[in-house]
């Protein structure tokens, strides 16, 4: 691939997925190493700023477009797609809540300008996987603050340029009274606590780290995480992850389709038996794709110009958003699994063009990134009052 790709940001991301990410995906997986070739290509094309509004130095891509970029990258390499998704979940959450704060706007512009890759530090020892609770706290002294966070996982922590981290607002704050804190390059050190050797998504390089950081007080976002989470971070996570999982499922179906086509060409006498399974699979993929993009359009509509808090903070929306994650995360594993009998032994082999092993292993991570049982528990709570009457 040439140094510069022509086209829209979506076309560029898709080309990088097809021509660079795909080339290195098996090596990234085997060695559990960062997908540096594809992420450097993304950086070189300016796509790390894709989701940020133009007035803050970004490309102003819509949410459906960013989802489409995640999908395109993940079709080539799941880890590349996931790194891209997590970066934009963080950066766009920061940008969406920058209004009214010159400092935050300045930091977002700097991230876009310097093409920094941002990692997320929400997990922590002692909170049981609850995004909305923190143990660590921002300790402010005059114009500066310091923080120490014992994170159970930081995806691409060692490769990122900066961190966006959740913490209690003050040492006296309740666990749910959280702030979002920006740590620039040079503001922090990372001490890796153990290895990242997993079944799938190996290239996200997500081991536990101890973070020690410090910075200026204005690096703590003014808007509380209690609002940032439901308005931006949670919806964007489910939507952009959905794009990544859709990319994995699309790739599996594409391999199954190629296999069936090859069979058909050998014997052009009506569709082979595996064609029926392919038909079934294609229908499931279509409904998965429709769900992800419809929800992305809806969210985009609620975010354009002014955040529609009333809509995004309703029980109906919370339920549907959780359902998106539940359906997308289970669909991806089901679709890759269903592709296996179509490709047969050629799908089972690690060294065949129809191989499904890596996709299958990657797909299982989806139901664990915010455990689906946690979301079912939340939905069970909400369904006690929700009537589905609109």
Partner 1 sequence: MQNQIRTILQQHGKLGTDATSLAEDADLYQAGMTSHASVNVMLALEGAFDVEFPDRMLKRSVFESIRNIHAALSELTGGR
**What are the residues binding partner 1 (CB under 8 A)?**
132, 174, 176, 226, 309-311, 313-316, 318, 378, 381-382, 384-390
Beta bridge mates, 121: 165
In this structure, how many other beta carbons lie within 10 angstroms of the beta carbon of residue 123? 19
Rg of the chain (C-alpha set): 21
State in angstroms the smallest separation of the CB of 384 from partner 1: 6
State in angstroms the smallest separation of the CB of 250 from partner 1: 34
Closer residue to partner 1 (CB): 210 or 382? 382
State in angstroms the smallest separation of the CB of 314 from partner 1: 4
Q: E strand or H helix at 363, and its extent?
A: helix 357-363
Closer residue to partner 1 (CB): 266 or 387? 387
Closer residue to partner 1 (CB): 211 or 318? 318
State in angstroms the smallest separation of the CB of 246 from partner 1: 28
CA-wise closest residue to 241 among 380, 90, 44 = 90
d(CA 230, CA 118): 20
Residues in Cβ contact with 204 at an 8 Å cutoff, skipping those fewer than 6 apart:
79, 82, 83, 86, 155, 156, 196
State in angstroms the smallest separation of the CB of 316 from partner 1: 5
Closer residue to partner 1 (CB): 273 or 385? 385
Output the CA–CA distances (angstroms, integers) from residue 259 to 88, 199, 265, in the order listed: 34, 25, 10
Q: In what order do the strands lie in the sheet containing 139-141?
A: 139-141, 144-151, 209-216, 188-192
Closer residue to partner 1 (CB): 174 or 283? 174
State in angstroms the smallest separation of the CB of 182 from partner 1: 24
In this structure, how many other beta carbons lie within 10 angstroms of the beta carbon of residue 194? 9
Closer residue to partner 1 (CB): 164 or 312? 312
d(CA 22, CA 73): 8
State in angstroms the smallest separation of the CB of 171 from partner 1: 17
State in angstroms the smallest separation of the CB of 311 from partner 1: 8
CA 350 to chain centre: 26
Closer residue to partner 1 (CB): 314 or 352? 314
Closer residue to partner 1 (CB): 231 or 356? 231
247 touches 72 (CB < 8 A): yes
Closer residue to partner 1 (CB): 140 or 379? 379
Closer residue to partner 1 (CB): 217 or 315? 315
CA 128 to chain centre: 21
Structure tokens at 168: 């209690």
State in angstroms the smallest separation of the CB of 305 from partner 1: 19
**In terms of DSSP bridges, do strands 178-183 and 139-141 run parallel, antiparallel, or are they unpaired?**
unpaired
d(CA 248, CA 240): 13
State in angstroms the smallest separation of the CB of 165 from partner 1: 22
CA-wise closest residue to 359 among 37, 29, 34, 124 = 29
């Amino acid at each position: 691939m040439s140094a510069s790709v022509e086209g829209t940001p979506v076309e560029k991301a898709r080309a990088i997925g097809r021509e660079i990410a795909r080339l290195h995906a098996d090596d990234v997986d085997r060695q559990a190493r960062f997908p540096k070739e594809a992420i450097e290509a993304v950086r070189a094309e300016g796509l790390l700023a894709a989701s940020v509004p133009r007035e803050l130095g970004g490309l102003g891509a819509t949410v459906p477009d960013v989802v489409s970029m995640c999908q395109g990258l993940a079709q080539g390499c799941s880890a590349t797609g996931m790194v891209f998704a997590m970066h934009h979940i963080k950066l766009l959450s920061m940008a969406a809540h920058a209004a009214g704060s010159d400092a935050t706007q300045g930091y977002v512009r700097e991230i876009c300008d310097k093409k920094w890759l941002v990692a997320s530090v929400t997990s922590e020892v002692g909170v049981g996987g609850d995004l909305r609770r923190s143990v660590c706290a921002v300790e402010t002294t005059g114009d500066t603050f310091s923080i120490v966070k014992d994170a159970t996982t930081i995806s691409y922590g060692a490769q990122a340029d900066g961190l966006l981290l959740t913490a209690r607002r003050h040492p006296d704050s309740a666990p749910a009274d959280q702030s979002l804190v920006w740590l620039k390059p040079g503001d922090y050190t990372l001490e890796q606590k153990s290895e990242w050797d997993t079944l799938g998504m190996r290239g996200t390089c997500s081991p536990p780290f101890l973070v020690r950081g410090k910075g200026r007080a204005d690096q703590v976002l003014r808007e509380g995480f209690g609002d940032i989470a439901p308005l931006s971070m949670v919806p964007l996570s489910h939507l952009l992850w959905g794009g990544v999982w859709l990319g994995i499922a699309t790739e599996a179906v594409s391999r199954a389709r190629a296999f069936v086509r090859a069979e058909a060409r050998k014997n052009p006498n009506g569709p082979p038996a595996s064609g029926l399974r392919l038909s079934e699979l294609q229908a499931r993929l279509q409904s998965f794709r429709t769900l992800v993009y419809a929800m992305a359009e809806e969210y985009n509509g609620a975010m354009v110009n002014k955040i529609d808090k009333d809509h995004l903070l309703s029980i109906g929306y919370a339920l549907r958003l959780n359902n998106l994650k539940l359906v997308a995360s289970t669909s991806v594993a089901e679709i890759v699994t269903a592709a296996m009998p179509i490709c047969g032994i050629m799908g089972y082999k690690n060294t065949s063009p129809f191989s499904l092993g890596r996709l299958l292993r990657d797909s299982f991570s989806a139901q664990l990134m915010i455990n689906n049982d946690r979301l079912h528990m939340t939905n069970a709570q909400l369904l006690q009052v929700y009537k589905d009457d609109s």
